[in-house]
């Protein structure tokens, strides 16, 4: 499979990918940037996830780039998410038969081809005029599960129509419980197989880059899943001009509400945004199906641990009683191996596939996922771990 994927990647031409994206209006890239993107030679095409960001930055508006790339306050946690992965060392074992690799796993009762998902990210139309529709098509081509954000710029029903692969839905609980119930029902009615409740955002983080731009969506672009809430306010934003609270974030979210949502949901419920092992234990006690170890991509509370630092303690607290996933800083196949070794069943990526979406639409998303999957397989072979079950703490050099 490694050889087949490598051949597929080698055959892809970035100029072809770039043709899918035709930025317009406030999102248009400069003529110079667009021309450069179409004129890449084979040697200049991205060969890893990290290289997509520079290409995307030349194609999208500065405000859009800073919204996606930025973190909270001094962005210490944002940087630490990567630094901690880089500091971990792997311990390869040799003379192991790795002629056949098995990356499959069962997650929430469903079989996945590999332990990578697309994390929920907001406002895909900031980087591609088709928005989440293109992302869903790319996810389907890559055989990867896509978690659709409450803040999508395409309604969940339309994303589902474009999708050919499995979808989950990320939920920001709203103060209007009736609206929240309807949103859960819409997601389930669209075929979403799981519900991820974001629990780390009673208020938004202090995001200097957004403040400098006075970030808001361009005219004609909305958080379509929250359209009814938009009608109640002239301007729906993460942060109100009157203070830290927002119409679209619920500061009263508690465990009692989690119990209520579990009672109305017909699909497995996961909590996204757990770092403390104490909260992980409570999550299990409240009967959730899974936990996503996350610091919101370093976008909320600065100076918290990197997710790869928090992961082992959360996994220990859960003790196999619920599924454990993680996001934050995953850019290499070796990062996936490290996360699995420290207790995750799967990882989610966010910014990298947005950069792929900006550069090449659906094909760009597919290419990002395929690259990471190929790197994962190479790392597994070189570590002497031909199946996911063989990736244990012993893979980490300690």
Query: Computed from CA positions of residues 45, 65, 79, 393, in that sequence, does the dihedral angle turn out positive or negative?
Result: negative
Query: Across 251-318, where does the E strand assignment appear?
Result: 269-274, 290-293
Interior angle at CA 376, CA 375 and CA 379, nearest 5: 85
**Per-residue pLDDT at 232:** 57
Distance CA 118, CA 349 (A): 5
Interior angle at CA 24, CA 21 and CA 29, nearest 5: 70
Catalytic residue annotation: 296
- Classify strands 290-293 and 167-171 as parallel, antiparallel or unpaired: unpaired
**Per-residue pLDDT at 31:** 33
> Which among 198, 168, 200, 195 has a CA at the least distance from the CA of 184?
195
**Per-residue pLDDT at 320:** 97
- Which residues pair with residue 291 across a beta bridge? 271, 324
> Which among 194, 328, 347, 213 has a CA at the least distance from the CA of 271?
194
How many alpha carbons lie under 13 Å from residue 380 in its C-beta half-sphere? 28
**Per-residue pLDDT at 385:** 98
**Per-residue pLDDT at 236:** 52
pTM, full prediction: 0.90
DSSP labels, 67-130: HHH--STT-HHHHHHHHHHHH--B----S---SS-B--EEETTEEESSSEEEPP-S-GGGT-TT
Matching CATH number, 68-89+102-385, of 3.20.20.70, 3.20.20.370, 3.10.20.30, 3.40.50.150: 3.20.20.70
Q: In tens digits, what is the pLDDT along the chain, a chain of 398 residues?
A: 444 444 444 444 444 444 333 333 334 333 333 333 333 344 568 999 999 999 999 999 999 999 999 999 999 999 999 999 999 999 999 999 999 999 999 999 999 999 999 999 999 999 999 999 999 999 999 999 999 999 999 999 999 999 999 999 999 999 999 999 999 999 999 999 999 999 999 999 999 999 999 999 999 999 999 998 766 554 555 555 568 998 899 999 999 999 999 999 999 999 999 999 999 999 999 999 999 999 999 999 999 999 999 999 999 999 999 999 999 999 999 999 999 999 999 999 999 999 999 999 999 999 999 999 999 999 999 999 999 999 999 999 99
């Amino acid at each position: 499979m490694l050889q087949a994927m490598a051949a597929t990647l080698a055959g892809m031409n970035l100029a072809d990918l770039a043709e899918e994206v035709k930025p317009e209006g406030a999102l248009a890239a400069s003529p110079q940037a667009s021309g450069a993107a179409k004129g890449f030679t084979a040697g200049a095409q991205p060969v890893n996830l990290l290289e997509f960001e520079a290409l995307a930055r030349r194609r999208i508006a500065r405000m859009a780039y800073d919204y996606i790339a930025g973190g909270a306050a001094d962005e210490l946690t944002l940087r630490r998410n990567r630094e901690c992965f880089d500091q971990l060392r792997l311990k390869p074992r040799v003379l192991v038969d790795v002629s056949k690799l098995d990356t499959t796993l069962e997650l929430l009762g469903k079989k996945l081809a590999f332990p990578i998902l697309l994390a929920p990210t907001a406002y895909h139309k900031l980087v591609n005029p088709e928005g989440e529709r293109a992302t869903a098509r790319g996810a389907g081509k890559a055989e990867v599960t896509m978690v659709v954000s409450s803040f999508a710029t395409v309604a969940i029903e339309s994303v589902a129509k474009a999708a050919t692969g499995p979808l989950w839905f990320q939920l920001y609980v709203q103060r209007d419980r009736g609206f929240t119930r309807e949103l859960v029902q819409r997601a389930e009615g669209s075929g979403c197989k799981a519900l991820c409740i974001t629990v780390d955002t009673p208020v938004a983080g202090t995001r200097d880059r957004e403040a400098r731009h006075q970030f808001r969506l361009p005219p004609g672009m909305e958080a379509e899943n929250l359209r009814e809430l938009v009608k109640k306010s002239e301007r729906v934003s993460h942060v109100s001009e009157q203070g830290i609270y927002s119409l679209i974030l619920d500061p009263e979210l508690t465990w009692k509400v989690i119990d209520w949502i579990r009672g109305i949901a017909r699909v497995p419920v996961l909590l996204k945004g757990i770092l403390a092992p104490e909260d992980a234990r409570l999550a299990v006690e409240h009967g959730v199906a899974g936990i996503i170890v996350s610091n919101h991509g370093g976008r909320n509370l600065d100076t918290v641990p990197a997710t790869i630092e928090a992961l082992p303690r959360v996994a220990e607290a859960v003790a196999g009683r619920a599924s454990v996933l993680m996001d934050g800083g995953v850019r290499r196949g070796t990062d996936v191996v490290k996360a699995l070794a420290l207790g995750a069943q799967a990882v989610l990526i966010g910014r990298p596939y947005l950069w792929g979406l900006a550069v090449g639409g659906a094909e760009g998303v597919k290419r990002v996922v395929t690259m990471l999957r190929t790197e994962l397989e190479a790392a597994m072979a070189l570590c002497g771990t031909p199946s996911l079950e063989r990736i244990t703490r012993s893979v980490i050099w300690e």
